[in-house]
Amino acid sequence: MFANMNKPKRRDALKTLAAGALSAASAPFLSSFSNKDFLESSSPLKGNVNHSVCQWTYNFLPLDDLCKAVKKIGFSAIDLVPPKDWPTLQKHGIFCSMCYIGGKVSLTEGWNNKNFHAGLIKDFSETIPLVPKAGYKNLICFSGNRNGMDDETGLKNCVEGLKQILGLAEKNNVIIQMELLNSKVNHKDYMCDKTPWGVELVKRLGSPNFKLLYDIYHMQIDEGDVIRTIRDNQQYIGHYHTGGVPGRHLIDETQELYYPAIIKAILETGFKDYIAQEFVPDQKDDESKIAALEKAVRICDV
């Protein structure tokens, strides 16, 4: 009889303990994604992460205004700015954390296709020397689409083409970085859509001046297992982009990735370069969109 009477009490006690444990465990998560007004925060960034933002996601702002917003938040770098706009960055003391060759670059017509090598070699050969002259070091590139091509042929073609610019990159201390993009949702048929393919390309090229731009958003869609992949392949990665999954929106509690843990894992590999926000803000007004950028930066500021 006493055993039967104790069962409900024991069950209630276990429920209470579980609720308490859940509350304690979720406290850091909830605090990381609090909905305070980030623009009113007076606390400085911690300084452990080199923060950046991709210009195209905030191109509703003139570049001058984006530079001012970035400095107000407390960091000083913008990704994916072409040479013609570098003077604007320099005027505001903003660093171009990932350069690109401007309107001539194509995600679909890339290094995996020999038909495009001549044009790519010309464009990159003209741009590479400009990068160190401006005080920068990273320059993005893309594999291109498969268009029926098998992975091995794509690798061989990329090696053949990229080797023709890597000597110039090494001479100028420029790091060419190929971005990993998902081929499931955003970039159908893109070849460099899996980390192992990109890593194999880095190994075959064998140059310290060629690395991968690991886009966390894209690789969560095509691969998942983000933290393990980063830890296992950190020596091949030179840059990171963020984004909320699904939808590429703000990296907060509305999406499936917990960015504080991901950024912590990146830092634990010894990574010292830039992590750029590349989510697309869907807030209604410009001020709220800028506040979303600061919120994302602070979520990643571990």
pLDDT tens for 175-231 read: 999 999 999 999 999 999 999 999 999 999 999 999 999 999 999 999 999 999 999
> Which pLDDT does position 105 carry in this prediction?
81
Average pLDDT, integer, range 232-241: 98
In this structure, are residues 238 and 175 in contact, taking their beta carbons and an 8 Å threshold? yes
Q: 22 versus 134: which is more confidently predicted?
A: 134
- Full DSSP string of 18-60: HHHHHHHHHHHHHHHT--S-GGG--PPP-SSSEEEEEGGGGTT
> Which pLDDT does position 231 carry in this prediction?
98
Distance CA(31)–CA(64), nearest Å, equals 33
Q: Tell the CATH topology of 49-300.
A: TIM Barrel (3.20.20)
- Full DSSP string of 249-270: --SSTTSS--HHHHHHHHHHTT
Q: Extract the runs of DSSP E, i.e. beta strands, from the chain.
A: 50-54, 77-81, 95-99, 138-141, 175-179, 210-215, 237-241, 274-277
Contacts for 162 with CB less than 8 Å, ≥ 6 apart:
111, 141, 176, 205, 210
> Which pLDDT does position 103 carry in this prediction?
78
Tens digit of each residue's pLDDT (9 = 90 or more) over 45-57:
999 999 999 999 9
Percentage of the chain lying above the pLDDT 70 cut: 86
Q: Please, which residues bridge with residue 275 across strands?
A: 51, 240
In this structure, are residues 262 and 219 in contact, taking their beta carbons and an 8 Å threshold? no
Average pLDDT, integer, range 272-286: 97
All structural domains of the chain with their residue ranges: 49-300
> Which pLDDT does position 42 carry in this prediction?
59
Tokens of 235: 């020596």
Q: Extract the runs of DSSP E, i.e. beta strands, from 68-164.
A: 77-81, 95-99, 138-141
> Which pLDDT does position 36 carry in this prediction?
43
User: What average pLDDT is seen over the chain?
Assistant: 89
Tens digit of each residue's pLDDT (9 = 90 or more) over 214-229:
999 999 999 999 999 9
Distance CA(223)–CA(248), nearest Å, equals 16
Phi/psi for 269 (5° steps) reads -80, -5
Tens digit of each residue's pLDDT (9 = 90 or more) over 119-145:
999 999 999 999 999 999 999 999 999
pLDDT at 14 over 80: no
Three-state DSSP class for residue 202? helix
Percentage of the chain lying above the pLDDT 90 cut: 84
